Structure 1
Amino acid sequence: MPLTPLDIHNKEFGRRLRGYDEDEVNEFLDQVIKDYESIIRENKELQNQVLSLQEKLNHFANIEETLSKTIIVAQEAADEVRNNAKKEGQLILKEAEKNADRIINEALAKSRKVSLEVEELKKQASIYRARFRTLVEAQLELLSQDGWESLEAAASASEYEPFSR
């Protein structure tokens, strides 16, 4: 157990012949008591400071740990967001490719349909021209026959007889 200032103050030494000067010893012991009390006070203050600094250190260590965990969580969240964005981008790209394929296929189908319709119209136009040519040729042939001249004469004679029938 450490020595206290009271222990020093209450200490009594035995007397012998030719011993130390009692007043000097008492004065020295008083100085030792003062210095010892001062050291004890300083020691207590330093212990309190150590405790305070230890509490602050613990507080900052907790803050550091929290920040470290927060940074890790933020990094993981950023990685997750990046991965999700990448996946979403890939899905959008695949969807766009599907739509592009569908649009191309629809355009090709319409192109084939229009091509078939054009061919059909060409055939119909060709048939129409052939029929029209046949009709015109038949009409020209009728006009070039001799029977028209007699009809023309009869028509000239009956000009003066409207609706003679």
Structure 2
Amino acid sequence: MPLTPLDIHNKEFSRRLRGYDEDEVNEFLDQVIKDYEALIRENKELQNGMLGLQERLNHFSNIEETLSKTIIVAQEAADEVRNNAKKEAQLIIKEAEKNADRIINESLNKSRKVALEVEELKKQASIYRARFRTLVEAQLELLSQDGWDSLDSQGREADRELLRG
């Protein structure tokens, strides 16, 4: 058990002949008591300070651990968001590629239909021109025949008879 200031104060020494000066020993013991009490107080204060520092250290260690866990969770969340964004971007790209292919195919089909319609219209125009040319040529030939004048005279006589009649 550790020595206390009271133990020092109550310590009795046996007396012998030619021993130490009792007053000098008592003064020294009083000084030892004061110094020992001061050391005990200082030790208590240091222990209390150490306990406070230990509590603060534990508090900051808990904060550090919480922050570390939070950073890890945040990093995992950021990784998950990044991965989800990549997946969504890939889906959007695939969808856009499908739509582009569909649009291209529809455009090609429409282009083919228009080309076929143009060809059909060209054929019809060519046929129409050929028929019209034939008709015009037949009409010109009819006009250039000698019988046209005789038809014209007969037509006038028929008109006269109608008027008479």
Q: Structures share a fold, TM > 0.5?
A: yes
TM-score w.r.t. the length of structure 1 is 0.90
Matches within 5 A, 1:137-148: 137-148=137-148
| Partner of residue 135, structure 2 | 135
Paired AA for residue 29 in structure 2 = L
Q: In structure 1, what is the Cα distance between the partners aligned to 2:76 and 2:117?
A: 60
Q: How far off is 1:7 after superposition?
A: 0.9
Gaps of 5+ in 1: none
Aligned twin of 1:74: 74
Distance in 2 (alpha carbons) for counterparts of 1:133 and 1:23: 159
Q: Which moved more, 1:153-162 or 1:22-31?
A: 153-162
Which AA in structure 1 matches 2:89?
Answer: G
TM-score, normalised on structure 2? 0.90
**Equivalent residue letter for 1:114:** V
Shift of 1:121: 0.5
1:64–1:163 Cα change, 3 Å = farther
1:13 is paired with a residue of what secondary structure? Answer: coil
The percentage of counterpart residues that share the same residue type is 84
Could you say which residue in structure 1 is the equivalent of 2:41? 41
Distance in 2, matches of 1:55 and 1:163, equals: 140
105-114 vs 16-25, greater mean Cα deviation? 16-25
Q: Which moved more, 1:50-59 or 1:77-86?
A: 77-86
Whole-angstrom distance in 1 between the partners of 2:42 and 2:121 = 114
Partner letter of residue 89 of structure 1?
A
Deviation at 1:116, TM superposition (A): 0.5
**Amino acid across the alignment from 1:17:** L
1:84 equivalent in structure 2: 84
- Partner residue of 1:11? 11
Superposition pairs for residues 18-33 of structure 1, below 5 Å? 18-33=18-33
Amino acid in the other structure paired with 1:152: D
Residue 102 (structure 1) aligned with residue 102 (structure 2): yes
Tell me how many residue pairs correspond in the alignment.
165
Larger displacement relative to structure 2 (27-36 or 152-161)? 152-161
Equivalence for 2:124: 124
**Runs of at least 5 residues in structure 2 that lack an aligned partner in the other structure:** none
